[in-house]
Amino acid sequence: MKWVMLIILCVSGSAWAGEARPLTDDPVAEARLKHLAVELRCLVCQNQTLADSSAPLAEDLRREVREMIAKNMSDPEIIEFLVSRYGDFVLYRPPLKATTTLLWVGPFVLMAIGVTALVMTLRRRSRTVAEASVTDEEHRRVEQLLAEGEKRS
């Protein structure tokens, strides 16, 4: 009976050994890969990061990054490697340069337009709505009506 148990243990052990391999054997390198991969876009499924994607290209690129980490290349060097091949599009945070100005400044321009429009509308409204003046006679009438209403309720 003990032997059977031992065999079952061995077999099941080898069954899961092939799954869920760590990204690298070195935990420091693994942390670096993770840190880099969340900043990089998968070119195939464009709304996923390189870390999330299971597309074959993403796997290949993770392999490349892993090898570059093993070669002791710095983060900027690794990013430069990918940008020189795939363009700024691989970066989730594109750099600020001439071609990306609209991307970075655009939202602020839209906000400025919105705020200006709001201020202008509010000012115009305060000018057009005239202060209502109430005469003493009208005031008395209002008081009277209110009092009557109270009595009724």
Interface with another protein (CB under 8 A): 43-44, 46, 56-57, 60-61, 64, 83-87, 89
Closer CB to another protein, 36 or 43, in the complex: 43
Q: For the CB of residue 87, give the shortest distance to another protein in the complex, in Å.
A: 4
Closer CB to another protein, 27 or 87, in the complex: 87
The span from the CA of 79 to the CA of 29, in Å, is: 15
Q: Which residues contact 77 (CB under 8 A, 6 or more apart)?
A: 68
Q: Cβ(44)–Cβ(53) under 8 Å? A: yes
Using DSSP's 3-state secondary structure scheme, residue 27 falls into: helix
Q: For the CB of residue 47, give the shortest distance to another protein in the complex, in Å.
A: 10
Using DSSP's 3-state secondary structure scheme, residue 84 falls into: helix
Closer CB to another protein, 84 or 153, in the complex: 84
Q: For the CB of residue 19, give the shortest distance to another protein in the complex, in Å.
A: 22
